[in-house]
Chain A
Amino acid sequence: MALYVDIQKHFSDFDLDVCFDTKENIYGVLGESGCGKSMTLKCIAGIERPDRGKIVLNGRILFDSEKKIDLPPQKRNVGYLFQDYALFPNMTVIENIKSGMKKKISGKEKNAYARKLMNRFFLDGMEKKYPSMLSGGQRQRTAIARVLASEPEIILLDEPFSAVDSYLKWQLELEILNISEEYGKELLLVSHNRDEIYRLCQEMGVISKGHMEISGGKKELFKNPKTVATALLTGCKNISPMKKEDNHIFCTDWNLRFNLTEPVHEDITHVGIHAHYIKVTEPDTEKWAEIERVIEAPFENILLVRIKDRGGNISKKTLRIGIEKERSENLVQGRKIGIMIPSDVLLLLSEKQKR
C-alpha cells in the first residue's frame, strides 16, 4: 500500500508530530491512550486538520499544507471504523450499510450488494433491526460491512477490539485478517495493545506523547525497540538508566554491570531486559538476587527480585523475571537466587529517536 503521512499539529498539552509510510497491507500504530493515535487517524480521514504537513494515498494528495490542498472527508475515499462503531441509531442495519454506497449504482443493486455483505458478516435476518437491538459483535460487523460498502481505498481502525469481550476479540481479529485478504483492502490499525498489533500487522509504528518514535517491521521492532518508549510499549518490563564505564556499562537502577564487545553509541542512555530472557541459577556469594515478591499469572510466575552484594549494596529497583510455573516451585519470597543475563539480550535504548 502507499500511504504517506507526515503531519504536525499543535495542541495546548502536546504536539502531534507523526511521520510514516506504509508498504504492507496491514500497518499498525502502537501507543498508549491519549498519545495522539486517534488524532492521527482523524487527520488522515480529514475530520481534523493538521497545522502542517502532507498526506498522500496511492499517489493522490489528500492534504498538503504547502500546496494548500485539503480534501474534504467525502472526497478522500478513506474508510473509518470508529471505536464505538458510530452506527446511525435512526437507521436499520440494511439502511446503515446502504448509507455510504456510491451514488451511481441503482437501488436494486444497492439492496443486492447490502444483502451480500450481510450474508458475509452473519447478519442475515437483521435487516429491519436497529443498532440498539444488536449485540456488540453484531454492531461491529454491521460497522465493518458499512465501511466496506462505501468502497474505500484504505480502512482506518480505531482500537477496534477495545469494546468487545475477550472471547469475541479472537473471532474479530480473524475477521479483520480475512477482510484484508478477501477484499484486498489496506488497513491502518491503531491500538494500545502490543499483542493485537503483533498478531495482525507486518509493519508498525510507535507513537509516544504525540511523537512517532519509530516505524518498521514488527519483528525487528520488537527485537530491537531502540527507544525507551518503544521498549515499554512492546512489553519490556525492565528498563534502567545506564552509565558508560571503560569497557562495560553499569545499570544504575539494578546495580548490575555488563561487559560489551562492541562500543556503545553515544545516544544510548538506557538498558532494557525482557523478563523472559533472565535465567535463574544458583546464588553466588559475591552478588545475588533476593526474591521480594512472586506474582502468579495463569501460565507463568513473575518474580520481583532485588540485587544485593557482599558489600551491602542493594539495587534501587527490582528486576522482573518471568518463569514457567513448573520451574518456579521452590522460588518463594525471601529466597536468594543467582541470575544470568546473556549480554546479547540487552536492549540498548535511547531516550528519544532522532528524526
Chain B
Amino acid sequence: MDMTPLILSLKTAVVATLITFFAGIFCAWKVVHMKRGKGIVDTLFTIPLVLPPTVLGFFLLVFFGKNGPVGNLLSQYGIVFVFSWLGTVAASAVVSFPLMYRTARGAFEQFDSHLYYAAQTLGMSNFKIFWRVVFPNCLPGIVGGVILAFARALGEFGATVMLAGNIPGKTQTAAIAVYSAMQAGDREKAYQWVAVILVISLVAVLGMNFVNSRQKKEKEER
C-alpha cells in the first residue's frame, strides 16, 4: 500500500495544528480581554466550526485564488495555495482553528483572575505572566484543544478538496484517498484507509481522555 496519503495527512495536520495552536491561543487571550465588540469577533472566529467545509473552501478559494487579494500578492513571491500542499495546510488550519480557539478561551475564562492580578502586582512582565502563570494553569484545556484540532485537521476533507484538489502524491490526504478509492470502485483500498483513519482517531481520543483523567487526578491530589 502506498503510504503517501498518510504521510501527507500527518504532515498537513502537524503544521496546521502548530499554526492553530499559536493563533488560537493568541486570539482567545485577546478576545477574553476585549471590552467591546467581543460578540462579533467571537462569532467570526467560531463560524468555521458551523459552516459547511465546502463553503469554507469557497471562501478560501476566493481569498487565496489567483485573483484573490492574498493569493495575487503571494503568487508574486511564488507562494501558491491553489492545488498545492500549502492549500491542504491552509484548509486544515482554518477548519481546526475554532476548536483550538474555543477550548483555549474556555480555559482562559475559568482562569482565576486573582492569580493574574497577583502576578501583575509582583511586577512580572505580561509575557512572563502569560507563559509562567496563565499558560501552565490553563494547560489541561489547551492540551484538549490541541488534540481536538489535530484530529480535525487530520480528517479534513471538504475545504481541502475545494482549495487544494485531489492530486495523488501532492494533495491527496488519507481522508481524500478514501473518497478517491470509492470513486474508482476500489473497495479494498477504501477499507484500508478507513482502518488507518479509524485507528488514528481512536488513539487521539484515547490520548485526550488519558490526559484529562491524569490532570483531574493531579488536581485531586493537590
Chain A contact residues, CB within 8 Å of chain B: 42, 45-47, 72-74, 76-80, 82, 84, 86-91, 99-100, 102, 130, 132-133, 146-147, 150, 152
Q: A80-B117, A86-B115 are in contact. Are A100 and B136 (CB under 8 A)?
A: no
Closest to A74 in B: B123
Whether B124 and A74, one on each chain, are in contact in the complex, defined by CB atoms closer than 8 angstroms, is yes
Q: What is the bound-complex CA distance between A79 and B124, given in angstroms?
A: 12
Contacts of B136 in A (CB 8 A): 90
Name the interface residues of B29-84: CB closer than 8 Å to any CB of A.
none
Most chain B CB atoms below 10 A, which of A77, A87, A100: A100
Contacts of B137 in A (CB 8 A): 88-90
Q: What is the bound-complex CA distance between A326 and B117, given in angstroms?
A: 52
Whether A78 and B222, one on each chain, are in contact in the complex, defined by CB atoms closer than 8 angstroms, is no
Whether A74 and B120, one on each chain, are in contact in the complex, defined by CB atoms closer than 8 angstroms, is yes
Q: What is the bound-complex CA distance between A146 and B125, given in angstroms?
A: 16
Whether A73 and B132, one on each chain, are in contact in the complex, defined by CB atoms closer than 8 angstroms, is no
> How many interface residues does B have (CB within 8 Å)?
18
Closest to B122 in A: A100
A279 CB, nearest partner CB in chain B, Å: 49
Contacts of A146 in B (CB 8 A): 122
Whether B120 and A86, one on each chain, are in contact in the complex, defined by CB atoms closer than 8 angstroms, is no
Whether B115 and A88, one on each chain, are in contact in the complex, defined by CB atoms closer than 8 angstroms, is yes
**Which among B117, B124, B133, B222 is the interface contact of A82 at CB below 8 angstroms?**
B117
A76 CB, nearest partner CB in chain B, Å: 8
Whether A78 and B121, one on each chain, are in contact in the complex, defined by CB atoms closer than 8 angstroms, is yes
A133 CB, nearest partner CB in chain B, Å: 7
Name the interface residues of B100-140: CB closer than 8 Å to any CB of A.
112, 114-115, 117-125, 132-133, 136-137
B55 CB, nearest partner CB in chain A, Å: 41
Q: What is the bound-complex CA distance between A176 and B115, given in angstroms?
A: 22
Chain B contact residues, CB within 8 Å of chain A: 112, 114-115, 117-125, 132-133, 136-137, 221-222
A153 CB, nearest partner CB in chain B, Å: 12
Whether B222 and A89, one on each chain, are in contact in the complex, defined by CB atoms closer than 8 angstroms, is yes
Whether B114 and A99, one on each chain, are in contact in the complex, defined by CB atoms closer than 8 angstroms, is no
Whether A80 and B121, one on each chain, are in contact in the complex, defined by CB atoms closer than 8 angstroms, is yes
Contacts of B124 in A (CB 8 A): 74, 99-100
Whether B123 and A86, one on each chain, are in contact in the complex, defined by CB atoms closer than 8 angstroms, is no
Closest to A77 in B: B123
**Which among A72, A99, A133, A147 is the interface contact of B119 at CB below 8 angstroms?**
A99
B207 CB, nearest partner CB in chain A, Å: 22
Whether B121 and A72, one on each chain, are in contact in the complex, defined by CB atoms closer than 8 angstroms, is no
Most chain A CB atoms below 10 A, which of B118, B133, B221, B222: B118
Mind listing 25 A-B residue pairs with CB under 8 Å?
A42-B117, A46-B121, A73-B117, A74-B121, A77-B123, A78-B121, A80-B117, A80-B118, A80-B121, A82-B114, A82-B117, A86-B114, A86-B117, A88-B115, A88-B119, A89-B137, A89-B222, A90-B137, A91-B132, A99-B124, A99-B132, A100-B124, A132-B221, A146-B122, A150-B123
Q: What is the bound-complex CA distance between A74 and B126, given in angstroms?
A: 9
Whether A47 and B119, one on each chain, are in contact in the complex, defined by CB atoms closer than 8 angstroms, is no
**Which among B112, B114, B117, B123 is the interface contact of A100 at CB below 8 angstroms?**
B123
Q: A90-B136, A132-B222, A133-B222 are in contact. Are A150 and B114 (CB under 8 A)?
A: no
4 additional A-B residue pairs with CB within 8 Å, beyond A72-B120, A99-B124: A46-B120, A73-B121, A88-B118, A88-B133
Whether B118 and A86, one on each chain, are in contact in the complex, defined by CB atoms closer than 8 angstroms, is yes
Whether A47 and B222, one on each chain, are in contact in the complex, defined by CB atoms closer than 8 angstroms, is no
Q: What is the bound-complex CA distance between A101 and B124, given in angstroms?
A: 9
Most chain B CB atoms below 10 A, which of A77, A78, A102, A132: A132
